[in-house]
Amino acid sequence: MLREFDYDNQAVVDIVNEMIADAVNKSASDIHFDPTPTILKVRMRIDGELMDYAVVPEIVKKNLTTRIKIISGMNITESRMPQDGAIKGEFGGKDVDMRVSSLPLVNGEKVVIRILDYSMSLQGIETLGLSDYNLQKVLKMISVPNGIILTTGATGSGKSTTNYSILKRLNTPDKNIITVEDPVEMQIDGLNQVQVMSEIGLNFAEVLRSILRQDPDIIMIGEIRDDETARIAVRASITGHLVLSTIHTNNSLNTIERLTDMDVERYLLGTALTGIISQRLAKKLCPKCRGSRPATEYEKIVIKKALGIDVQGLYTPVGCNECLNGYKGRIAIQEVLDITTEIKDAITNSTPKEELRKLVYDNGKTQTLLQDGLNKVVNGLTSFEEILRIIDIEEDFGEDEEELKNALIGRSVELTKQSMNKKSLPISSNQENLNMSFQPSRNMQNNMMMNQNYNQMQGFNNQMSLPQRSQNTLINTPMMNQQMYNYNQNMMMNQR
């Protein structure tokens, strides 16, 4: 529903302030002001999705844009060139930092306000959504005084938040921490932060060379984008510094591949790399209104294959006045890779990708993004649909994981069922009945253990006695959704 303002009587100053306060209260990440030949459309990005917010009539359009340009320190007489600005102030009762940019379009200037929300990273590493198992791995990685720890993911996957949270944990008076960033997204007391300015030649590599002469203990490099930065990062680490950085890849394996494709000495890279944290963001189920429904055959098979557990029911989005379609906020799905001696050797020796994949994922210690995501589904933090949306089926699975891949694509649940009884893949060995009469692999045992811990923690009983659905429905059909809907309605009625 669009927000209405009294454009005839309300001062533009107040309207802009209210819009920003609204955005802050809705935890929006961006506000877009889109000019059309007549009106100005205002949209907000909330939990990653851009949605309509208000329509500003033509008479106020120009003044509203000008007001934003004034408070963000832009030149109001210039409207033909793009500009950057910033707003700092209290909106909606919170101290907020904003980055503003304007772009001249054919219909006028488009302004986007990026709201930098620091509240999350300031709460620390424990609130990043890491499972207990992954949190312990990260804490161990950052306790070592040298090495490179990389956080990877697409733009907007919360990489900076993770890095700042780690820095916050390491930030003690006995450490000299220097960062080089583009841009500096958050200023933290006790850190020495450098802003890259490529227009005057102050690039990552240039700053890094100077940082090394500043007696650093810990160095944070905003992003490794080029070979030279990668080389300096590796050298800094092997000369006894802890280096944190981010890289734009989608999982642990691709990160190693990307780094080895760069012009960096492989044996140094193998020595330097300590850990990789890959992450993606999934929408979080609103805890106020989430409901439950029976799991589909498809979901049961995928969860069985990925986690080695049987589920009967899953949590599902419902929707209430405190959330958006049953979701509120986002949660990170992570894959934390501890670089073992075997992996270090493999990097040094240019081991082929499929062999490297085995070392990375078949060591019984790495919980994949899919596994971490599904654990969070089973525990009601997010939904199965969300995890399917963020998993990259082609990129995230190897040649020997065809079955799981097929199960995910929903291509052949029947086929998978048959092969589950024949082939002895670790996750599907001889299940006479589905109630744990199989021999779990090491990887599976770990996952089962993790799940038990989770379940105990959450007090969640997996074997909810939900009604059985017909066995011949393979994948989601409208018919099934209707059944689910009816089921949810019944559940909700019963709860009341």
- Closest approach of Zn ion to the CB of residue 493, in Å: 17
- Closest approach of Zn ion to the CB of residue 326, in Å: 6
**For Zn ion, how many residues bind (rule: CB under 5 A)?**
6
Question: Cα–Cα distances in Å, from 315 out to 132, 290, 291, 308?
Answer: 21, 6, 6, 19
Q: Which phi and psi angles does 414 have, rounded to 5°?
A: -60, -45
Whether the CB-CB separation of 21 and 92 falls below 8 Å is answered with: yes
Kindly indicate which of the ranges 27-35, 79-87, 315-323, 484-492 contains the residues binding Zn ion, using the contact rule CB under 5 A: 315-323
Which x/- pattern, by CB under 5 A, does the window 234-273 give for Zn ion? ----------------------------------------
Q: Which is nearer to Zn ion, 272 or 331 (CB)?
A: 331
* Residue 320 sits in the site that holds Zn ion (CB under 5 A): yes
The residue whose two tokens read 């073992």 is: 340
- Closest approach of Zn ion to the CB of residue 492, in Å: 12
Task: Report the length, in residues, of the chain.
Answer: 496
Q: Which is nearer to Zn ion, 190 or 287 (CB)?
A: 287
Q: Which is nearer to Zn ion, 86 or 289 (CB)?
A: 289
Whether the CB-CB separation of 153 and 184 falls below 8 Å is answered with: no
Provide Rg for the chain, Cα atoms. 25
Distance CA 417, CA 426 (A): 15
- What dihedral do alpha carbons 277, 279, 285, 287 form, nearest 10°? 30
Q: Which is nearer to Zn ion, 323 or 360 (CB)?
A: 323
Whether the CB-CB separation of 5 and 15 falls below 8 Å is answered with: yes
Distance CA 393, CA 228 (A): 32
Of 340, 300, 338, 306, the residue nearest 443 (C-alpha): 306
Q: Which is nearer to Zn ion, 262 or 289 (CB)?
A: 289
Question: Cα–Cα distances in Å, from 54 out to 15, 18, 23, 297?
Answer: 11, 12, 12, 43
Kindly indicate which of the ranges 168-176, 289-297, 359-367, 459-467 contains the residues binding Zn ion, using the contact rule CB under 5 A: 289-297
Side chain identity at 469, as an amino acid letter? R
- Closest approach of Zn ion to the CB of residue 490, in Å: 19
* Residue 324 sits in the site that holds Zn ion (CB under 5 A): no
Q: Which is nearer to Zn ion, 1 or 81 (CB)?
A: 1
- Closest approach of Zn ion to the CB of residue 62, in Å: 39
- Closest approach of Zn ion to the CB of residue 286, in Å: 3
Sheet with 40-46, strands from edge to edge, namely 49-56, 40-46, 28-35, 108-116, 94-105, 83-91
Kindly indicate which of the ranges 20-28, 158-166, 282-290, 414-422 contains the residues binding Zn ion, using the contact rule CB under 5 A: 282-290
Kindly indicate which of the ranges 15-23, 208-216, 279-287, 477-485 contains the residues binding Zn ion, using the contact rule CB under 5 A: 279-287
CB nearest Zn ion: which residue? Answer: 286
Whether the CB-CB separation of 177 and 171 falls below 8 Å is answered with: yes
The three-state secondary structure class of 269 is helix
- Closest approach of Zn ion to the CB of residue 319, in Å: 6
* Residue 289 sits in the site that holds Zn ion (CB under 5 A): yes
Q: Which is nearer to Zn ion, 125 or 286 (CB)?
A: 286
Q: Which is nearer to Zn ion, 220 or 323 (CB)?
A: 323
Cα diameter, the chain = 76
List the one residue from 3, 209, 288, 442 that touches Zn ion (CB under 5 A): 288
Kindly indicate which of the ranges 72-80, 97-105, 109-117, 281-289 contains the residues binding Zn ion, using the contact rule CB under 5 A: 281-289
* Residue 170 sits in the site that holds Zn ion (CB under 5 A): no
Residue 102's contacts (CB-CB under 8 Å, 6 or more residues apart) are 65, 69, 74, 79, 82, 83, 85, 109, 110, 111
* Residue 323 sits in the site that holds Zn ion (CB under 5 A): yes
- DSSP state letter for 324: B
Kindly indicate which of the ranges 37-45, 93-101, 157-165, 288-296 contains the residues binding Zn ion, using the contact rule CB under 5 A: 288-296
Kindly indicate which of the ranges 198-206, 258-266, 322-330, 467-475 contains the residues binding Zn ion, using the contact rule CB under 5 A: 322-330
Phi-psi region of 433 (alpha: psi -120 to 50; beta: other; left: phi over 0): beta
Chain residues binding Zn ion by CB under 5 A are 286, 288-289, 320, 322-323
